[in-house]
Amino acid sequence: MSGLIVACAGPRLAPITPAEIPALKAQAAQQPGNSDVRFRLAAALLAAGRCDTAVLVARSGEGLAPGNALGPMVIGRCEEKAGRYDLAFATYTDFAHKNPRARGVAAVRALAEMALRTQATQTAKLALARESTLTALAPEPSTVAVLPLTIAGDSSLQPLSRGLAELLMSDLALVRNLRLLERVQIGALLDELKLGQSGRADVRTAARVGRLLRAERMVQGVATINQNGPVRMSAAVVRGDGTVRSGAEANGTFKQLLDLEKQLVFGLATELGIQLTESERQRILRQGPKNLAAFLAYSNGLEALDARDYRAAAAGFGAAARADPSFQQAQQQQQAAEAAPVVEASAGDVMSVVQAAGQVVPSVVTEPAVGGALQQGTLDVSGTIGDLVPTGISTVASNPTPESQGISSIIQASGILRIIFRRP
């Protein structure tokens, strides 16, 4: 299968310590244009717990070397220490978007993923603790949550529950005025509710999730998938008061799965009361993976990532990126999954993280990173689906905003932070 490979190039830096601060201050005064000294001083201040000063020094270093990963690492770590995982997530993702080839960017992506999950878990716990208050509040207008789909039929295709939900979410995010809640945030709340797949298919569950996250509407879907038989997909729109609008359906074959997802999106737009413009329809058709093998592997990677199995996640995302080189999200997720063990083992020392993560090279996958029916599907499906133009999963915006540039917007209401899905 896959493995995380770390090259042994160059000497390993010793962990930074607070004892170095006096010498580094003197060196920084002597060499005001040396960004490396500033970042090392910032890291030492972080290690000493002096985050206010560490952030100032890191920002001054960014002014000299904006593409150095140490800047956002120090700043993001300080934001995490203050419990502001939402700000840390924005710091990491902003840097990764602007510097996709920077040394250590894989570690920054891993930190963003971990910050997002920590924030999502905290939000879920807080929402449950304040449930009586939240359920009395009106939902935020235009917010939509896509629940993991219920997969019926071939049990080995369960990873598609996550993959299809993410595709629906990324496509609906292109519809004007809609704001989609992050998949990770929804998953964290469902985990806190301790619901299995059958419970998640309950309309009352969807309504409760909506009230807890103050989402105006929830999308709840079911997909009956058999590789050698018909594929039937349906979705309902559920409001917080339990009102259900159903009728979005798509039917076809397994090899048409990606085309069927697009059909379901168009049906959902109608159920949401939105008449798509031709521009929106074309943007939805253009985005997303066009290779079914890539999508199957990517779905498997999402399932492994949610289980914190970074080795399997990197294998799944890597297989997806190779099957569809235009699948940018798969490439970025592979980077983050490969760097995650390095980040976790760093004990917070950003200097060693940057050095180690900068030496991470792509995993080598010698066989498909999926099993059972997913593995067979990866081998059997054709390279492209329909006549769609190949691109990665992307959120395209005619007028660029921080969200459309890869930074999830974070909104707060009644003390509950919600992270809105926006990814390039």
pLDDT tens, 114-164?
999 999 999 899 999 998 888 888 888 899 999 999 998 777 899 999 999
Which string of b and e fits 166-195 if b means at least 16 CB within 10 Å? Answer: bbbbbbbbbbeebbbbbbbbbbbbbebeeb
Task: State whether the Cα torsion 33-34-35-38 is positive or negative.
Answer: negative
Is the pTM value of this prediction over 0.85? no
Which of 90-94, 277-281, 354-358 is least confident?
354-358
Which of 181-185, 225-229, 416-420 is least confident?
416-420
Q: Select the more confidently predicted residue: 366 or 52.
A: 52
Mean pLDDT, rounded, of the chain: 81
Q: 227 near 155, Cβ under 8 Å? A: no
The DSSP bridge partners found for residue 361 are 5
Write down the residue that tokens 């972080």 correspond to.
Answer: 46
Q: Select the more confidently predicted residue: 239 or 416.
A: 239
Task: State whether the Cα torsion 197-192-183-211 is positive or negative.
Answer: positive
Q: 301-329: per-residue pLDDT in tens?
A: 999 999 999 999 999 999 999 999 989 89
Helix then strand count (H, E) for the chain reads: 18, 10
Q: What is the mean pLDDT of residues 73-98?
A: 94
Which of 44-48, 97-101, 225-229 is least confident?
225-229
Nearest alpha carbon to residue 21 among 47, 58, 59: 47
The reported pLDDT for the residue numbered 4 is 41
Polymer length of the chain = 424
Q: Got the DSSP string for 100-163?
A: TTSTTHHHHHHHHHHHHHHHHHHHHHHHHHTHHHHTTSPPEEEEEEEPPPEEEE-GGGTTHHHH
Q: Select the more confidently predicted residue: 364 or 275.
A: 275
Report the distance separating Cα 214 and Cα 137, nearest Å.
8
Q: Select the more confidently predicted residue: 399 or 39.
A: 39
Report the distance separating Cα 302 and Cα 310, nearest Å.
10
**φ and ψ of 191, to 5 deg:** -65, -40
Report the distance separating Cα 22 and Cα 373, nearest Å.
60
**φ and ψ of 418, to 5 deg:** -120, 135
Q: What is the mean pLDDT of residues 46-63?
A: 95
Residues 6+ apart with CB under 8 A from 417: 86, 119, 123, 410, 411
Percentage of the chain lying above the pLDDT 90 cut: 56
Query: Alpha-carbon Rg of the chain, whole angstroms?
Result: 22
Report the distance separating Cα 125 and Cα 96, nearest Å.
29
Residue 375: pLDDT over 60: no
- In the structure encoding, which two tokens stand for residue 338, read together? 């490969």
Report the distance separating Cα 323 and Cα 318, nearest Å.
9
Report the distance separating Cα 334 and Cα 384, nearest Å.
22
Q: What is the mean pLDDT of residues 348-370?
A: 56
- Specify the CATH number for 5-127; select among 1.25.40.10, 1.10.287.3510, 3.30.450.20, 3.30.70.20: 1.25.40.10
Which of 138-147, 175-184, 347-356 is least confident?
347-356
The reported pLDDT for the residue numbered 226 is 84
How many CB atoms lie under 10 A from the CB of residue 131? 13
| The most confident of 24-33, 231-240, 243-252, 361-370, by mean pLDDT | 24-33
Specify the 3-state DSSP secondary structure of 231.
strand
Report the distance separating Cα 110 and Cα 336, nearest Å.
4
- In the structure encoding, which two tokens stand for residue 114, read together? 């971990």
Architecture category of domain 138-284+405-412 in CATH: 3-Layer(aba) Sandwich (3.40)
Report the distance separating Cα 88 and Cα 111, nearest Å.
9
Q: 252-300: per-residue pLDDT in tens?
A: 999 999 999 999 999 999 988 899 999 999 999 998 898 999 999 999 9
Report the distance separating Cα 201 and Cα 223, nearest Å.
11
Where do runs of H (alpha helix) occur along 256-308? 257-271, 278-286, 292-306
The helix (H) or strand (E) run that includes residue 250 is: strand 244-253
What confidence tier does 95 reach under pLDDT thresholds 50, 70, 90? very high
Domain boundary assignment for the chain: 5-127, 138-284+405-412, 293-380
Q: 196-238: per-residue pLDDT in tens?
A: 555 556 778 888 888 898 899 999 999 999 888 899 999 999 9
Residue 39: pLDDT over 80: yes
- DSSP-derived secondary structure letter, 407: -
